[in-house]
Amino acid sequence: MALRLSETDAIKSGNGKTLIGWLGKLPYFSPKKVLVRTNEVDRFDINIFTDSNIYRITATPTYLGCTVSSRKPRPGEDWTRGNDLPDGNFSEKTFISLLGSILFYEAKQVVKAIERVAEEEAKI
Residues 53-72 pLDDT 10s: 999 999 999 999 999 999 98
Helix (H) or strand (E) holding 108: none
Pairs from 21-26 (Cβ < 8 Å, separation ≥ 24): 22/92, 22/95, 26/99
Helix (H) or strand (E) holding 104: helix 92-106
Q: Among 89, 5, 92, which Cα is nearest to 48's?
A: 5
Residue 50: is its pLDDT beyond 80? yes
More confident residue, 44 or 123: 44
8 CB-near residues (< 8 Å, 6+ apart): 36, 39
Position 63 scores a pLDDT of: 97
Counting residues of the chain whose pLDDT is more than 70, the rounded percentage is 94
Model confidence pLDDT, tens digit, residues 71-108: 988 899 888 899 999 999 999 999 999 999 999 999 99
